[in-house]
Protein backbone atom coordinates (compact mmCIF):
# COMPACT_ATOMS: atom_id res chain seq x y z
CA UNK A 1 0.00 0.00 0.00
CA UNK A 2 1.13 3.54 -0.76
CA UNK A 3 1.63 5.98 2.09
CA UNK A 4 -1.49 7.97 2.98
CA UNK A 5 -1.88 11.34 1.24
CA UNK A 6 -1.60 14.00 3.93
CA UNK A 7 -2.07 17.77 3.94
CA UNK A 8 -0.64 18.59 7.36
CA UNK A 9 0.37 22.23 7.69
CA UNK A 10 -1.58 23.32 4.61
CA UNK A 11 -4.50 25.75 4.52
CA UNK A 12 -7.44 25.46 2.15
CA UNK A 13 -10.44 27.52 1.08
CA UNK A 14 -13.54 25.66 -0.11
CA UNK A 15 -16.40 27.73 -1.51
CA UNK A 16 -19.94 26.42 -1.35
CA UNK A 17 -18.90 24.06 1.44
CA UNK A 18 -22.08 23.98 3.47
CA UNK A 19 -23.73 21.07 1.71
CA UNK A 20 -23.29 18.15 -0.64
CA UNK A 21 -20.07 18.01 -2.65
CA UNK A 22 -18.51 21.14 -1.20
CA UNK A 23 -19.09 19.87 2.31
CA UNK A 24 -17.51 16.53 1.40
CA UNK A 25 -14.46 18.33 -0.03
CA UNK A 26 -14.03 20.43 3.11
CA UNK A 27 -14.39 17.44 5.43
CA UNK A 28 -11.93 15.36 3.41
CA UNK A 29 -9.34 18.14 3.34
CA UNK A 30 -9.73 18.60 7.08
CA UNK A 31 -9.43 14.86 7.72
CA UNK A 32 -6.22 14.84 5.67
CA UNK A 33 -4.75 17.52 7.95
CA UNK A 34 -5.47 20.83 6.21
CA UNK A 35 -6.98 23.79 8.02
CA UNK A 36 -10.11 24.82 6.11
CA UNK A 37 -11.88 28.11 5.45
CA UNK A 38 -15.48 27.04 4.86
CA UNK A 39 -17.49 29.39 2.65
CA UNK A 40 -21.23 29.36 2.06
CA UNK A 41 -24.17 31.76 1.95
CA UNK A 42 -25.97 29.67 4.58
CA UNK A 43 -24.52 30.32 8.02
CA UNK A 44 -26.09 27.27 9.64
CA UNK A 45 -24.80 24.76 7.09
CA UNK A 46 -21.35 26.35 6.99
CA UNK A 47 -21.23 26.30 10.77
CA UNK A 48 -22.13 22.61 10.79
CA UNK A 49 -19.27 21.83 8.40
CA UNK A 50 -16.87 23.77 10.62
CA UNK A 51 -18.14 21.98 13.73
CA UNK A 52 -17.73 18.58 12.08
CA UNK A 53 -14.14 19.32 11.01
CA UNK A 54 -13.29 20.48 14.51
CA UNK A 55 -15.02 17.49 16.10
CA UNK A 56 -12.74 15.23 14.07
CA UNK A 57 -9.69 17.04 15.42
CA UNK A 58 -9.22 19.49 12.53
CA UNK A 59 -9.11 23.26 12.26
CA UNK A 60 -11.72 25.32 10.44
CA UNK A 61 -13.42 28.69 10.27
CA UNK A 62 -16.37 30.01 8.27
CA UNK A 63 -16.88 32.99 5.97
CA UNK A 64 -20.53 33.62 5.13
CA UNK A 65 -20.80 35.46 1.82
CA UNK A 66 -21.78 34.88 -1.82
CA UNK A 67 -18.90 34.29 -4.22
CA UNK A 68 -18.58 36.50 -7.27
CA UNK A 69 -17.80 39.90 -5.76
CA UNK A 70 -14.13 40.72 -5.25
CA UNK A 71 -14.65 41.65 -1.57
CA UNK A 72 -15.76 38.06 -0.86
CA UNK A 73 -12.64 36.64 -2.49
CA UNK A 74 -10.45 39.03 -0.52
CA UNK A 75 -12.27 38.13 2.71
CA UNK A 76 -11.70 34.42 2.12
CA UNK A 77 -7.97 34.86 1.63
CA UNK A 78 -7.78 37.21 4.61
CA UNK A 79 -9.55 34.63 6.78
CA UNK A 80 -7.06 31.94 5.75
CA UNK A 81 -4.08 34.16 6.53
CA UNK A 82 -5.47 35.72 9.72
CA UNK A 83 -6.69 32.43 11.21
CA UNK A 84 -4.08 29.98 9.95
CA UNK A 85 -1.14 32.03 8.70
CA UNK A 86 -1.11 31.16 5.00
CA UNK A 87 -2.99 29.80 1.99
CA UNK A 88 -2.07 26.71 -0.03
CA UNK A 89 -5.25 25.38 -1.63
CA UNK A 90 -8.34 26.85 -3.26
CA UNK A 91 -11.31 24.67 -4.20
CA UNK A 92 -13.73 26.91 -6.10
CA UNK A 93 -16.91 24.88 -5.79
CA UNK A 94 -19.79 27.29 -5.17
CA UNK A 95 -22.57 27.11 -7.74
CA UNK A 96 -26.25 27.51 -8.51
CA UNK A 97 -28.68 26.22 -11.13
CA UNK A 98 -31.27 28.17 -13.09
CA UNK A 99 -32.28 25.68 -15.76
CA UNK A 100 -34.37 26.88 -18.70
CA UNK A 101 -34.37 26.16 -22.42
CA UNK A 102 -32.80 28.95 -24.45
CA UNK A 103 -36.01 30.72 -25.44
CA UNK A 104 -37.24 30.79 -21.84
CA UNK A 105 -33.98 31.73 -20.11
CA UNK A 106 -34.04 35.25 -18.69
CA UNK A 107 -31.12 37.62 -18.34
CA UNK A 108 -31.22 37.09 -14.57
CA UNK A 109 -31.15 33.28 -15.00
CA UNK A 110 -28.04 33.58 -17.15
CA UNK A 111 -26.26 36.28 -15.17
CA UNK A 112 -26.62 34.64 -11.74
CA UNK A 113 -25.15 31.32 -12.88
CA UNK A 114 -22.27 32.99 -14.71
CA UNK A 115 -21.59 35.34 -11.79
CA UNK A 116 -21.50 32.50 -9.27
CA UNK A 117 -19.60 29.80 -11.17
CA UNK A 118 -17.40 31.72 -13.57
CA UNK A 119 -16.88 35.13 -11.97
CA UNK A 120 -16.79 33.55 -8.50
CA UNK A 121 -14.00 31.20 -9.54
CA UNK A 122 -12.16 34.05 -11.27
CA UNK A 123 -12.22 36.45 -8.31
CA UNK A 124 -11.35 33.73 -5.80
CA UNK A 125 -8.65 32.34 -8.08
CA UNK A 126 -7.11 35.77 -8.61
CA UNK A 127 -7.05 36.52 -4.88
CA UNK A 128 -5.66 33.08 -4.05
CA UNK A 129 -2.98 33.19 -6.76
CA UNK A 130 -1.87 36.63 -5.61
CA UNK A 131 -1.37 35.37 -2.06
CA UNK A 132 0.30 32.13 -3.15
CA UNK A 133 2.77 34.03 -5.36
CA UNK A 134 3.61 36.33 -2.46
CA UNK A 135 4.30 33.35 -0.22
CA UNK A 136 6.59 31.81 -2.84
CA UNK A 137 5.80 28.21 -1.87
CA UNK A 138 3.54 27.22 -4.76
CA UNK A 139 -0.06 26.19 -4.33
CA UNK A 140 -3.06 24.34 -5.69
CA UNK A 141 -6.09 25.80 -7.44
CA UNK A 142 -8.91 23.34 -8.14
CA UNK A 143 -11.90 24.44 -10.20
CA UNK A 144 -15.06 22.36 -10.43
CA UNK A 145 -16.37 21.60 -13.91
CA UNK A 146 -19.19 19.34 -15.05
CA UNK A 147 -20.04 16.89 -17.81
CA UNK A 148 -22.39 19.66 -18.99
CA UNK A 149 -19.35 21.78 -19.76
CA UNK A 150 -17.65 18.94 -21.61
CA UNK A 151 -20.60 17.88 -23.76
CA UNK A 152 -23.38 20.46 -23.46
CA UNK A 153 -26.64 19.87 -21.63
CA UNK A 154 -30.24 20.49 -22.69
CA UNK A 155 -31.75 23.39 -20.76
CA UNK A 156 -28.43 24.54 -19.29
CA UNK A 157 -27.02 27.24 -21.56
CA UNK A 158 -25.83 29.20 -18.54
CA UNK A 159 -24.44 26.29 -16.52
CA UNK A 160 -22.77 24.47 -19.42
CA UNK A 161 -21.18 27.71 -20.63
CA UNK A 162 -19.80 28.47 -17.17
CA UNK A 163 -18.46 24.95 -16.67
CA UNK A 164 -16.78 24.88 -20.09
CA UNK A 165 -15.22 28.23 -19.27
CA UNK A 166 -13.82 26.92 -16.02
CA UNK A 167 -11.86 24.21 -17.81
CA UNK A 168 -10.36 26.83 -20.13
CA UNK A 169 -9.66 29.01 -17.10
CA UNK A 170 -7.77 26.21 -15.35
CA UNK A 171 -5.72 25.51 -18.47
CA UNK A 172 -4.87 29.20 -18.85
CA UNK A 173 -3.88 29.54 -15.21
CA UNK A 174 -1.72 26.43 -15.49
CA UNK A 175 0.38 28.36 -18.00
CA UNK A 176 0.42 31.67 -16.15
CA UNK A 177 1.19 30.24 -12.71
CA UNK A 178 3.65 27.48 -13.61
CA UNK A 179 6.76 29.50 -12.74
CA UNK A 180 5.31 30.13 -9.28
CA UNK A 181 4.80 26.40 -8.68
CA UNK A 182 1.03 26.81 -8.55
CA UNK A 183 -1.00 24.14 -10.30
CA UNK A 184 -4.48 24.68 -11.70
CA UNK A 185 -6.79 21.80 -12.60
CA UNK A 186 -10.48 21.19 -13.21
CA UNK A 187 -12.38 18.34 -11.58
CA UNK A 188 -15.40 16.97 -13.45
CA UNK A 189 -17.50 15.34 -10.71
CA UNK A 190 -20.44 12.98 -11.17
CA UNK A 191 -22.11 12.28 -7.85
CA UNK A 192 -25.52 12.07 -6.29
CA UNK A 193 -26.56 15.49 -5.05
CA UNK A 194 -29.62 17.75 -5.02
CA UNK A 195 -28.53 18.88 -8.49
CA UNK A 196 -28.28 15.41 -10.03
CA UNK A 197 -31.55 14.47 -8.30
CA UNK A 198 -33.31 16.81 -10.74
CA UNK A 199 -32.32 14.45 -13.59
CA UNK A 200 -35.29 12.06 -13.93
CA UNK A 201 -33.23 8.88 -14.39
CA UNK A 202 -31.35 9.58 -11.15
CA UNK A 203 -34.21 10.82 -8.95
CA UNK A 204 -35.12 7.44 -7.49
CA UNK A 205 -31.47 6.46 -7.04
CA UNK A 206 -30.94 9.66 -5.07
CA UNK A 207 -33.98 9.05 -2.90
CA UNK A 208 -32.83 5.49 -2.23
CA UNK A 209 -29.34 6.78 -1.39
CA UNK A 210 -30.75 9.24 1.16
CA UNK A 211 -32.71 6.34 2.68
CA UNK A 212 -29.48 4.38 3.15
CA UNK A 213 -29.58 2.09 0.13
CA UNK A 214 -26.16 1.52 -1.49
CA UNK A 215 -25.77 2.90 -5.01
CA UNK A 216 -26.12 -0.01 -7.47
CA UNK A 217 -22.86 -1.14 -9.07
CA UNK A 218 -24.25 -0.50 -12.55
CA UNK A 219 -24.68 3.19 -11.71
CA UNK A 220 -21.25 3.42 -10.06
CA UNK A 221 -19.55 1.90 -13.11
CA UNK A 222 -21.66 2.58 -16.20
CA UNK A 223 -22.84 6.04 -15.13
CA UNK A 224 -19.83 6.99 -12.98
CA UNK A 225 -22.31 7.96 -10.30
CA UNK A 226 -21.29 7.72 -6.69
CA UNK A 227 -21.23 9.70 -3.46
CA UNK A 228 -19.73 13.13 -2.80
CA UNK A 229 -17.06 11.35 -0.78
CA UNK A 230 -15.98 9.46 -3.90
CA UNK A 231 -15.19 12.78 -5.56
CA UNK A 232 -13.46 14.18 -2.48
CA UNK A 233 -10.62 11.67 -2.87
CA UNK A 234 -9.57 13.38 -6.10
CA UNK A 235 -9.74 16.80 -4.43
CA UNK A 236 -7.39 15.65 -1.68
CA UNK A 237 -4.91 14.19 -4.16
CA UNK A 238 -4.88 17.30 -6.35
CA UNK A 239 -4.39 19.43 -3.23
CA UNK A 240 -1.37 17.41 -2.15
CA UNK A 241 2.34 17.43 -2.92
CA UNK A 242 1.85 14.11 -4.73
CA UNK A 243 0.22 15.95 -7.66
CA UNK A 244 2.89 18.64 -8.00
CA UNK A 245 3.50 17.77 -11.66
CA UNK A 246 -0.21 17.68 -12.60
CA UNK A 247 -1.56 20.94 -14.02
CA UNK A 248 -3.88 22.15 -16.76
CA UNK A 249 -5.88 18.92 -16.67
CA UNK A 250 -9.59 18.13 -16.63
CA UNK A 251 -10.07 14.99 -14.55
CA UNK A 252 -13.41 13.32 -13.98
CA UNK A 253 -14.39 11.12 -11.08
CA UNK A 254 -17.60 9.50 -9.91
CA UNK A 255 -18.51 6.18 -8.40
CA UNK A 256 -15.90 3.65 -9.53
CA UNK A 257 -14.68 5.59 -12.57
CA UNK A 258 -11.70 7.96 -12.95
CA UNK A 259 -11.51 9.81 -16.30
CA UNK A 260 -8.86 11.99 -17.92
CA UNK A 261 -10.43 14.30 -20.49
CA UNK A 262 -8.65 15.28 -23.69
CA UNK A 263 -7.64 18.80 -24.58
CA UNK A 264 -9.55 20.14 -27.60
CA UNK A 265 -7.71 19.25 -30.79
CA UNK A 266 -8.21 19.61 -34.52
CA UNK A 267 -9.80 16.51 -36.02
CA UNK A 268 -8.87 17.33 -39.60
CA UNK A 269 -7.57 20.33 -41.54
CA UNK A 270 -7.77 20.96 -45.30
CA UNK A 271 -6.11 23.59 -47.47
CA UNK A 272 -7.59 25.14 -50.59
CA UNK A 273 -5.65 27.41 -52.95
CA UNK A 274 -6.76 31.05 -52.75
CA UNK A 275 -9.18 30.40 -49.90
CA UNK A 276 -12.60 28.82 -49.62
CA UNK A 277 -15.74 29.73 -51.51
CA UNK A 278 -19.03 28.56 -49.94
CA UNK A 279 -19.36 25.91 -52.68
CA UNK A 280 -15.87 24.62 -51.93
CA UNK A 281 -16.72 24.32 -48.24
CA UNK A 282 -19.91 22.44 -49.09
CA UNK A 283 -18.00 19.96 -51.23
CA UNK A 284 -15.26 19.51 -48.62
CA UNK A 285 -17.82 18.91 -45.91
CA UNK A 286 -19.75 16.24 -47.77
CA UNK A 287 -16.72 14.60 -49.41
CA UNK A 288 -14.40 14.58 -46.39
CA UNK A 289 -15.17 16.40 -43.15
CA UNK A 290 -18.64 15.00 -42.47
CA UNK A 291 -17.11 11.59 -41.82
CA UNK A 292 -14.99 13.17 -39.06
CA UNK A 293 -17.78 15.12 -37.38
CA UNK A 294 -18.58 14.24 -33.77
CA UNK A 295 -22.11 13.79 -32.46
CA UNK A 296 -23.68 16.41 -30.23
CA UNK A 297 -23.68 15.38 -26.58
CA UNK A 298 -21.83 12.62 -24.73
CA UNK A 299 -20.97 9.33 -26.38
CA UNK A 300 -23.46 6.55 -25.78
CA UNK A 301 -22.23 3.62 -23.66
pLDDT in tens, 34-84: 999 999 999 999 999 999 999 999 999 999 999 999 999 999 999 999 999
Averaged over 23-34, what is the pLDDT?
98
Cα→Cα distances 85→71, 77, 88, 135, 197, Å: 20, 10, 10, 11, 39
pLDDT-wise least confident of 9-13, 39-43, 197-201: 197-201
Q: Which of 146, 153, 193, 243 is catalytic?
A: 146
pLDDT mean across residues, the chain: 95
Q: Which of 10, 163, 209, 240 is catalytic?
A: 163
Whether the pLDDT of residue 12 is over 90: the answer is yes
pLDDT-wise least confident of 50-59, 131-140, 224-233, 291-300: 291-300
Is residue 300 part of the annotated active site? The answer reads no
Q: Which of 10, 153, 159, 202 is catalytic?
A: 159
Is residue 146 part of the annotated active site? The answer reads yes
Per residue in 146-168, pLDDT (tens digit) is 999 999 999 999 999 999 999 99
Burial class (CB in 10 A: 0-12, 13-18, 19+), 14: buried
Q: Which pTM does this prediction carry?
A: 0.95
Per residue in 208-256, pLDDT (tens digit) is 999 999 999 999 999 999 999 999 999 999 999 999 999 999 999 999 9
Averaged over 186-213, what is the pLDDT?
89
Question: Which domains, ranges and CATH numbers included, belong to the chain?
Answer: 11-260 (3.40.50.720)
Q: Which residues, listed in sequence order, are joined to residue 183 by a DSSP beta bridge?
A: 140
Amino acid sequence: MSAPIRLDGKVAIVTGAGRSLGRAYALALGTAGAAVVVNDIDAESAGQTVDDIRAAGGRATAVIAPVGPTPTADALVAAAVDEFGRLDILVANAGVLRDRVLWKMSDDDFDLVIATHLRGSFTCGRAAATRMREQGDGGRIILIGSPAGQFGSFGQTNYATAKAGLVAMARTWSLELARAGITANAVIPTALSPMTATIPKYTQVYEDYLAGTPIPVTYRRDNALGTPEDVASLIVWLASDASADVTGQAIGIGGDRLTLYAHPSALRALNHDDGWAPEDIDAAWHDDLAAQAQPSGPAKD
